[in-house]
C-alpha cells in the first residue's frame, strides 16, 4: 500500500504539535498503524523523512514499544490481562480457553472462516490499570471488565460474527485501526459514549454517601461540604444491575425521591 498525500499531511501535523518535531514519533507510528494495519517499512521511511532522522532510528523506537506491531493485526485486538492479580482471579483460565476456542497462540490472528465478518488477534497483556474489575480483557484497548471464560468466548464469537459490541465501561467497539487513529490524536467523537465510571470506581464514594461521610469543609469542621451533586439516574440503575449491592440500590431510591437534599443530608436525617 502507498501512503496517501493526506496521510503524509497528517503525519506532519502531528509533528507540528510539539516544540520539537521528533516528539511526534510515537503518535505518528500510531497513525501509520491506523492506515497500514501495522508498522510498515514505508511508514517508517515516511516518519524518518518528516523528522529528518534515519529509518534505523525510527525502527529502533518502533521495536521498543509493545503496542507497535510488525505483523498485520486483525480487526479486533483482544488482550487478556495475565498479570498476577487478573491471572489469579481467572485471567489465566480465560486466556487458555480463548487460545483453544480461537485455535491461535499468543500474538496470533484467526483465520477468516467463510461465516466470519472479522478477524481477531489474541494477546496476553500486562496490568491495564483496571485491577478492581479483574479479570480484565481489552478489545482494541477498550475495557471489558469482570470477565469469565463464558463471557470471553461469547465476546469473541460476537466480534467474529460482526455483531455490535459495547465496552463494559466505554463506547461501541470500533476496529483496531480506528482505535489507533484516536491514539494518534485524531478524535473520533465518541468521548461522550459510555458511563462516567464503572461500579467499582464508585465503591468508596457510594459508601461515603450512604454513611454521610465527607471531607472536612474549608473552615475545618467535618460534614458540611457534602456534594450537591446531581446524580445520573440511568447510570446508577446500571450500576445496580451490574453489582446488585444494597448501597447502590439505596442511592437510586434516594435519587428517585422528589427531594432536593443530598444523600448525605438524608443519612444524617435518618
Partner 1 sequence: MSDSVTGSVKGTLTPVLTDNWGSERSWTLAAYEAQGGYGALRNALAMAPDDVISAVKDSGLRGRGGAGFPTGMKWSFIPQDNPKPKYLVVNADESEPGTCKDIPLMMATPHTLVEGVIISSYAIRANTAFIYIRGEVLHVIRRVQAAVAEAYAAGHLGKDIHGSGYDLDLVVHAGAGAYICGEETALLEGLEGRRGQPRLRPPFPAVAGLYASPTVINNVESIASVPSILEHGAEWFASMGTEKSKGYGIFSLSGHVTRPGQYEAPLGITLRELIDLAGGVREGHSLKFWTPGGSSTPLLTADHLDVPLDFEGVGAVGSMLGTRALQIFDETTCVVRAVLRWTEFYKHESCGKCTPCREGTWWLVQTLAALERGQGTEADLDLLLDQCDNILGRSFCALGDGATSPISSSIAHFREEYLAHLQHGGCPFDPAASTTFAAEGALA
Question: Which stretches of the chain bind ligand FES, using CB under 6 A?
Answer: 81, 83, 85-86, 127-128, 130-131, 134, 136
> Per CB under 8 A, does 51 bind partner 1?
yes
By C-beta, is 53 or 127 nearer to ligand FES? 127
Among 83, 154, 175, 238, binds partner 1 (CB under 8 A): 83
Q: How far is the CB of 112 from partner 1 (least distance, A)?
A: 24
Q: Whole-angstrom Cα distance, residue 150 to residue 224?
A: 47
Phi, psi of 87 (to 5 degrees): -55, -50
Q: Check residue 22 for interaction with partner 1 (CB under 8 A).
A: yes
Query: DSSP characters for 101-130?
Result: HHT--TTEE----TT-S--EEEEEE---S-
Q: Is 166 helix (H, G, I), strand (E, B) or coil?
A: strand
Q: Residue 132 CB, nearest distance to ligand FES (Å)?
A: 8
- Please give the Cα distance from 253 to 247 (Å, whole number): 10
Using CB under 8 A as the binding rule, the residues of this chain from 157 to 186 that contact partner 1 are 167, 169-171, 179, 182-185
Among 125, 144, 155, 159, binds partner 1 (CB under 8 A): 125
DSSP H helices, 22-175, are 25-36, 41-51, 55-62, 84-86, 92-102, 149-161
Q: Find the part of the chain contacting partner 1 (CB under 8 A) among 4-12, 23-31, 102-110, 157-165.
A: 23-31
Amino acid at each position: 500500500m502507498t501512503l496517501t498525500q493526506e496521510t503524509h499531511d497528517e503525519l506532519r501535523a502531528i509533528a507540528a504539535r510539539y516544540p520539537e518535531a521528533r516528539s511526534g514519533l510515537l503518535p505518528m507510528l500510531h497513525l501509520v498503524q491506523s492506515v497500514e494495519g501495522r508498522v510498515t517499512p514505508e511508514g517508517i521511511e515516511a516518519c524518518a523523512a518528516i523528522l529528518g532522522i534515519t529509518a534505523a532510528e525510527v525502527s529502533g523506537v518502533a521495536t521498543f514499544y509493545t503496542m507497535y506491531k510488525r505483523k498485520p493485526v486483525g480487526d479486533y485486538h483482544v488482550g487478556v490481562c495475565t498479570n498476577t492479580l487478573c491471572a489469579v482471579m481467572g485471567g489465566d483460565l480465560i486466556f487458555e480457553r480463548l487460545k483453544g476456542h480461537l485455535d491461535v497462540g499468543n500474538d496470533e490472528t484467526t483465520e477468516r472462516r467463510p461465516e466470519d465478518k472479522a478477524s481477531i488477534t489474541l494477546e496476553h497483556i500486562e496490568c491495564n490499570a483496571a485491577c478492581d474489575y479483574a479479570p480484565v480483557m481489552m478489545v482494541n484497548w477498550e475495557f471489558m471488565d469482570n470477565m469469565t471464560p463464558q463471557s470471553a468466548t461469547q465476546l469473541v464469537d460476537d466480534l467474529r460474527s460482526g455483531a455490535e459490541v459495547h465496552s463494559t465501561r466505554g463506547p461501541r467497539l470500533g476496529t483496531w485501526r480506528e482505535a489507533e487513529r484516536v491514539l494518534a490524536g485524531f478524535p473520533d467523537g465518541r468521548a461522550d459514549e459510555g458511563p462516567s465510571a464503572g461500579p467499582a470506581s464508585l465503591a468508596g464514594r457510594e459508601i461515603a454517601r450512604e454513611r454521610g461521610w465527607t471531607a472536612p469543609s474549608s473552615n475545618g469542621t467535618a460534614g458540611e461540604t457534602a456534594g450537591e451533586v446531581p446524580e445520573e439516574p440511568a447510570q446508577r440503575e446500571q450500576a445496580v444491575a451490574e453489582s446488585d449491592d444494597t448501597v447502590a440500590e439505596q442511592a437510586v431510591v434516594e435519587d428517585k425521591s422528589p427531594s432536593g437534599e443530598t444523600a448525605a443530608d438524608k443519612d444524617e436525617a435518618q
